[in-house]
Amino acid sequence: MANFIQERIDIPTLATAIGLVSVGLVSIYSATYDAKMSELYVKQIVAAGIGVILLISAALIPSRTLQLISLPAYFLSLLLLITVLLIGKQVSGSTSWFQIGPLSFQPSEFAKVTTVLALAVYLSRSDVSLTKTKDAVIPALMVLAPVMLILKQPDTGTAMIFFGMFLPVLFWGGSSTFTIVALLSPGVVAIAALLGTTPFFISIVMLGILIWLTKQNTVSAAVVFSFIVFIGISVQSIYGKLRPYQQKRILTFLDPSADPLGAGYNVLQSKIAIGSGGFFGKGYLQGTQTQLNFIPAQWTDFIFCVPSEEFGFLGAATILILFTVLLFRGVRIASTVKNPFGSFVAIGITGIFATHIFMNVGMALGLAPVVGIPLPFLSYGGSALLADMLMIGLLLNLYAHRKEY
């Protein structure tokens, strides 16, 4: 019996997910305790219960059936993203939600999963090779479709997750180093341009050398280099066309102290909370930043500062270790699954989790821009938690069928 369980159930992945959900519930209870918003904690418990059902369902669905429903699910998610723009509820300036009575639903959370499934279906075809330009264009368009709809909401943070997922999938599919560099270069040079003229020129020189060393041919290298130079020069113009709150978020990322009572407030208070926890923390429900509500809605995007303050470095390190185990297991499953479809799904899911973790923890530490990205399993939000549990269920499914072709 023990051998059967070990063979069919990925215990480390399941245990890690349970541990993270538990930490999330404990943290949300603390974050809402003094704010007198216990109903949020109750809603998260309900979402966790539904998430368990979703996890089990995803884990038990036949792998062939999963492959058959992937493309229909992807097109359904696109339809939902279009529909939410027309009749969705606006929250914090973003039209991202369907509201049905007391229940709300964010389709972009599930669009991430369906996009991974659709990419896996296409890239697992025997006649597809990412070394061919035409075969690389189609998956790019598959990712661009939901991204454009999500940016229309607008929800920049969620749109970034798709990019963070797409790069590992490209790499896993055998895409060239030049392609990866070409995709990363615009973002690097844009950030450098915002930092000043000197960083901009340094980035142009370094990226130019890297593009030349990894080039497939001179023409493609020249086109990519010209494009990133154009992006760098255009950054200030693009920045000027952003909405005021988006400009403030960028400025806050570059220098949180520039607006300590405005856009930089959450970041500064989060860093204070994390630093004040020390090594062992202040104790559960004893965090001053947490219980005095210095960070608005800290149970959402800045949830990481809650256990970090109350349980200190040990608590924060434990959470990061759990996330590391989860990412390691995701890569491990991707590398052991015999079915190419399953391998792409596993690496795509791992990419989604990794981007969420790095961006959210980076936000809390002031190392990444504040773009509204929840921390998997920990942040309050039913749609996000259900999507996380669904992805864990898919990983468990792939592990159970890892020896099937």
What's the Cα-to-Cα distance from 389 to each of 14, 293, 334, 337, 347, rounded to whole Å?
10, 29, 18, 20, 16
Q: Is 170 exposed, middle or buried (0-12, 13-18, 19+ CB in 10 A)?
A: buried
296-309 pLDDT per residue, tens: 778 888 899 999 99
User: How is residue 294 written in tokens?
Assistant: 């210095």
The one-character DSSP state at 301 is T
User: How is residue 14 written in tokens?
Assistant: 């399941």
User: How is residue 71 written in tokens?
Assistant: 């493309």
pLDDT at 96: 83
109-167 pLDDT per residue, tens: 999 999 999 999 999 988 888 877 778 888 989 999 999 999 888 788 888 899 889 98
Q: Is 172 exposed, middle or buried (0-12, 13-18, 19+ CB in 10 A)?
A: buried
CB-hemisphere CA count at 13 Å for 342? 27
pTM (global) more than 0.75: yes
Rounded Cα–Cα distance for residues 229 and 211 (Å): 13
* Lowest model confidence (mean pLDDT) among 66-80, 103-117, 237-251: 237-251
Local confidence band at 341 (pLDDT 50, 70, 90 cut-offs) = very high
Contact 96, 153 (CB under 8 A): yes
- Spell out where 78-193 has E strands: 89-91, 94-100, 103-105
Rounded Cα–Cα distance for residues 245 and 378 (Å): 25
CB-hemisphere CA count at 13 Å for 283? 1
Token pair 């539904």 is at which residue? 50
